[in-house]
Amino acid sequence: MSEPFDIQAVIDRLDSLEQLDGIQGAAEYASVTSLKDFRMPSAYVLLLQERADDAQVKPGGRQRAIVTFGVVLAVRNYGDQRGERTLKELRPILGAVRGRLMGWTPEVPGARPVQWSRGDVLDYDRSTLLWAEVYSTQHFIGGAP
């Protein structure tokens, strides 16, 4: 198989989280044009990058691909003007997402446990906060194992 990493596995992994009103993919994320249009609280899972590692290509063309994916979280607190209450809304959601993903091994050939890389504020408008989490794993592409 030489297909890219299937991000649907991550969406499915997060789907059972009660703290979120929805988990969607890149197409839905791209269709949102304003912070006020995000469903709250929600998550969007995006395939950010696949790259080769430094290992030699295996016989038959099999190669390890390092996968980086993001989870964008959207939370809101209308009574917040400085971000403190919105961050309070984010903390348990962030903890639940990290708990579901860190150490989980996707069911794909050659996968390794998911590792957390970083988290950053993407945008904030006095009531709505977008937070991006970045994770990594690996899988194999190319010829048969």
Which residue type sits at 79? G
Domain locations along the chain = 8-141
Other C-beta atoms lying within 10 Å of the C-beta of residue 97? 25
Other C-beta atoms lying within 10 Å of the C-beta of residue 53? 10
Yes or no: say if 143 and 109 are a contact pair by the CB < 8 Å rule: no
Give residue 79's pLDDT. Answer: 66
Coil, strand, or helix at residue 6? coil
Return the beta strands (E) in the chain as ranges: 22-24, 42-52, 63-76, 115-124, 128-141
Calpha distance 57→40 (Å, rounded): 44
Calpha distance 101→19 (Å, rounded): 15
Give the helix/strand (H/E) hosting 93. helix 84-101
Give residue 80's pLDDT. Answer: 60
Digit-by-digit pLDDT tens for the chain (145 residues) are: 688 899 999 999 999 999 999 999 999 999 999 888 888 899 999 999 999 887 666 677 778 899 999 999 999 877 666 667 788 889 999 999 999 999 999 998 889 999 999 999 999 887 889 999 999 999 988 876 5
CATH architecture, domain defined by 8-141: 2-Layer Sandwich (3.30)
Calpha distance 135→41 (Å, rounded): 20
**DSSP state for residue 56 in the 8-state scheme:** P
Other C-beta atoms lying within 10 Å of the C-beta of residue 110? 15
**DSSP state for residue 96 in the 8-state scheme:** H
